[in-house]
């Protein structure tokens, strides 16, 4: 996961705070709204004359984000549930 400097995070966090507010406002469509926003961000970040490499770079970026989310959050949640409910294996 490419971490960015604290001062740069502040700039993004201000904009993201409003986006998160809008996403949470419509609870029933939150997941679809988030999917739409992520897709639009990815499309807008592609160059107009994108090539196969640009598409693969985008897939690599979103895969890395997914992997990091799993590693940092989901696996901890699953480990806690194993301790609570017992392991399947």
Radius of gyration over every alpha carbon of the chain, rounded to an integer in angstroms:
17
Give the residue extent of every domain in the chain: 1-45, 49-89
Confidence (pTM): 0.79
Q: What is the pLDDT of residues 42-72, one digit of tens each?
A: 999 999 999 999 999 999 999 999 999 999 9
Give the DSSP letter of residue 4.
-
* Average pLDDT over all residues of the chain: 93
> Distance between CA atoms of 23 and 40, rounded to whole angstroms?
14
**How far are the Cα atoms of 7, 42, 75, 84 from residue 38, in angstroms, in the given order?**
23, 6, 23, 34
């Amino acid at each position: 996961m490419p971490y960015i400097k604290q001062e740069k995070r502040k700039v993004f966090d201000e904009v993201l705070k409003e986006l998160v507010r809008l996403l949470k406002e419509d609870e029933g469509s939150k997941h679809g709204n988030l999917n739409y926003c992520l897709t639009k961000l990815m499309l807008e970040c592609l160059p107009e004359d994108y090539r196969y490499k640009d598409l693969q770079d985008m897939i690599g970026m979103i895969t890395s984000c997914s992997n990091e989310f799993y590693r940092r959050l989901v696996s901890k949640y699953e480990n806690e549930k194993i301790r609570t409910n017992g392991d399947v294996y």
